Amino acid sequence: MANQEDIFKKVISHAKEYGYIFQSSEIYDGLSAVYDYGQNGVELKKNIREYWWQAMVQLNDNIVGIDAAIFMHPTTWKASGHVDAFNDPLIDNKDSKKRYRADVLVEDHVAKIEGKIEKEVKKAAKRFGDSFDKKQFLETNPRVLDYQAKADGILKRLGKSLENEDLADVKELIEELGIVCPISGSKNWTDVKQFNLMFGTKLGATADSAMDLYLRPETAQGIFVNFLNVQKSGRMKIPFGIAQTGKAFRNEIVARQFIFRMREFEQMEMQYFIKPGTQKEWYDTWKEKRLNWHLSLGLGEDNYRFHDHEKLAHYADAAADIEFRFPFGFKELEGIHSRTDFDLGSHEKFSNKKLQYFDPEENKSYVPYVLETSIGLDRMFLAVFSSALQEEALENNTTRTVLKLPAVLAPTKAAVLPLLKRDGLPEVAHKLMDDLKWDFNVVYDEKDAVGRRYRRQDAVGTPFCVTVDHQTLEDETVTIRHRDTMEQQRVKINEVKGIISKEVDMRYWLQRI
């Protein structure tokens, strides 16, 4: 069986081969941790964004969207705490000269311990068969409990040291755990240092008058500074939300995991403005809502888990990640943060403008609390793409590579294929294509044997192939082949649109939330 690294390599090469993702400026040897989306990638990304937007904005009458600028007044980042506190703890290995995030080194070590727990579970499941009770096993098996206690202890200590800015203890922890550099294999580490992740740039023509700016490291602040504009112009009543999708930039040091950690990426964020004191209730509600959004796509319930934060960001009083099982293990996909009144309160102080809401029920004004949901669009892309890519053994001892993207997200919904390039079949196929293209992205393909064309569409993730053959000329029927089951159905040509619509319509998928 292929190991994690091989699977991940396959994901990256497949994304390139089928026009999903390319390295940025590849002809100049690329730019590290920056990527371009190709002809299929841009469609998949757009569909994920739209799936999020519909779930958050269109289906919630108290959530509205905005599109704030990437450039913001520099004081924004002072007020938000990013100038002083948006740092990563870094450590260098003196032998390989490679730089790492110290917390990631420790977390990877913990992931290995958790991997041992998973192995114990698999072994026991095999041994006990149908009578295996996973929950009971996790709660009682001494070896598992020992591993779990070790993992929890390490994370707790890491959280505490980071919170106290005790970087010497982070180094000590790395040394105590015997963590080695993956490149040199040595434990020859430097001290741990903090490094600010924001990219700086300048606004203005001359050196003296230029103003120092930052590229925004999160989209959230564009929402906070517009809180009153939206509240007043939209006559919004608390609780209400403001949603936004857009680019964010971070000078990531450890940027080796393809589009998982990029220097330029896109976020989909929503700030939900609430009455102080109700944050716990909304935190639980949004954790559940967001997990249900993920589950509605059918990527597999086992691929998700919550991770509650020990170490809280400077703005939060509670925070959890929705983690996804990526090819390199469970990692953060989305964050749900109870941000208190930190941001609005701080912008009030720095701007000297009141950012308060008059609550008619309470008959008083207050700075609202904020519950945030924040997901990386590129990371969501990777979750969808990597879990969809499968090598399937077929009955005739061959394998097929199939990209089982949720049909609602697939870049192209159907391929129209004339069985042969003659006898009037291409004309009928073109006519069908011209009709379908008003509703969906469709492609036409007449090159090679039809079996090879099916395989091509499987690999690119097209959920339906519609084949026009000689029978079509006689009775106006075509075959629809379903990507996932490879089943073929003979249907009337005028039924094709309805059959595809039912499977790709966002309404059908979003109703599962």
Q: 231 vs 374, which CB is nearer to ligand GAP?
A: 374
Residue 314 near residue 81 (C-beta atoms within 8 A): yes
Rounded-to-integer distance, Cα 165 and Cα 462, Å: 50
| Element spanning 294, H or E | helix 279-295
Of 238 and 320, which CB lies nearer to ligand GAP in the complex structure? 320
Among candidates 502, 402, 498, 406, which has minimal Cα distance to 455? 402
- Report, in Å, the least distance between residue 250 CB and ligand GAP: 5
If the CB atoms of residues 93 and 267 are measured against ligand GAP, the closer one turns out to be: 267
If the CB atoms of residues 335 and 461 are measured against ligand GAP, the closer one turns out to be: 335
CA dist., res. 418 & res. 300, Å (int): 35
Instruction: Please say which residue, 246 or 406, places its beta carbon nearer to ligand GAP.
Output: 246
Minimum Å gap between C-beta 377 and ligand GAP is: 8
Q: C-beta of 262: minimal distance to ligand GAP in Å?
A: 4
Strand, helix or coil at 500?
A: helix
Please report how close the Cβ of residue 253 comes to ligand GAP at its closest, in angstroms.
10
Nearest-angstrom CA–CA distance, 347 and 159: 28
At its nearest, how many Å lie between ligand GAP and the CB of residue 153?
24
- Number of residues written out for the chain: 513
Tell me whether residue 250 or residue 483 sits nearer to ligand GAP (CB atom): 250
Burial class (CB in 10 A: 0-12, 13-18, 19+), 196: middle
CA distance 480 to 494: 12
- Rounded distance, CA 513 to CA 508, Å? 10
- 3-state secondary structure (DSSP) of residue 483: coil
What 3-state class would DSSP assign to 238? Answer: coil
Nearer to ligand GAP, 21 or 460 (CB): 21
Q: Which of 443, 440, 481 minimizes the C-alpha distance to 460?
A: 443
Nearest residue to 226 (alpha-carbon basis) of 278, 271, 264, 265: 271
Pairing of strands 414-418, 464-468: parallel
Q: In whole angstroms, how close is the CB of 439 to ligand GAP at the nearest point?
A: 32
Each residue of 303-318: b (16+ CB within 10 Å) or e? bbeeeebebeeebbeb
Report the 10 Å Cβ neighbour count for 320: 21
**CB nearer to ligand GAP: pick between 108 and 332:** 332
| Closer residue to ligand GAP (CB): 47 or 257 | 257
Q: For ligand GAP, which residue has the nearest CB?
A: 376
CB 162, min distance to ligand GAP, A: 14
* Shortest reach from residue 35's CB to ligand GAP, in Å: 10
- Residues engaged in binding ligand GAP (CB under 6 A): 218, 220, 250, 252, 261-262, 265, 267, 269, 332-335, 372, 374-376, 378-379
Measured from the CB atom, is 250 or 287 closer to ligand GAP? 250
Give the alpha-carbon dihedral of 12, 14, 18, 22, to 10 degrees.
10
Least distance to ligand GAP, CB of residue 55, Å: 16
> Shortest approach of ligand GAP to residue 488 CB, angstroms?
39
